[in-house]
Amino acid sequence: MSGSQRYDRVSRIFHWLTVPLVLTLLVIGWLMVDMPLGLKRFDTVNLHKSLGVLLLLLTLMRLLHHWVIRPAAQMPANAAARMAHRLLYLCLLGLPLSGWLMSNAAGFSVTVYGTATLPVLLAENPFLRDVFTAVHEWLGWGLCALLVGHIGAVIWHRCWLKDDVWQRMRPYD
């Protein structure tokens, strides 16, 4: 495979750092909503928020790298794949932002690992809390659907089309 077809190392590192982070956030998010109120739920929610901030920062770095450094030729040629990538980025940005706004509207700040507190963007507002809760949940389900499609597309390309899509983003050289 020619080097120009392969995603650059930084893009691959960003991608493969995002994978476990997103999966962890989805699992924690799914589990914490059914936890009883108490210290364990409080700690779990705070972990979820901290990881969400990391996801937001990582996604912003990915986008900066994509727009400034990475060649446009590395973007998928297929229109459906480009749209799927745009929707993935929408979820990767929208989930942490909606979570941050949801927390603020519920009267809570967002603290990263108990050390740094993000600015409060909204005053407490029960209506907006409900709006951002719904947005956060819908984006979460949307991300799950996009991930299934993304993984399915990789399998389709690898097993049936037998093209180089997997080789372009595989984590190893």
Per-residue pLDDT tens over the stretch 6-39: 788 888 999 999 999 999 999 999 999 999 999 9
Q: What is the CATH T-level fold of the domain 9-169, as seen in this structure? A: Fumarate Reductase Cytochrome B subunit (1.20.950)
Q: Is 106 exposed, middle or buried (0-12, 13-18, 19+ CB in 10 A)?
A: middle
**What's the pTM value of the predicted model, to 2 decimals?**
0.89
Q: What pLDDT does residue 19 have?
A: 96
Nearest residue to 153 via CA among 64, 68, 87, 92: 87
Output DSSP code: residue 8. P
Q: Where along the chain do its domains lie?
A: 9-169
Tokens of 43: 């700690």
Confidence tier at 77 by pLDDT (50, 70, 90): low
Partners of 117 in beta bridges: 111
Per-residue pLDDT tens over the stretch 59-68: 999 999 988 8
Percent helix, strand, coil in the chain (nearest 5)? 75, 0, 25
From residue 65, how far is each of 68, 149, 171 by CA, in Å? 5, 24, 17
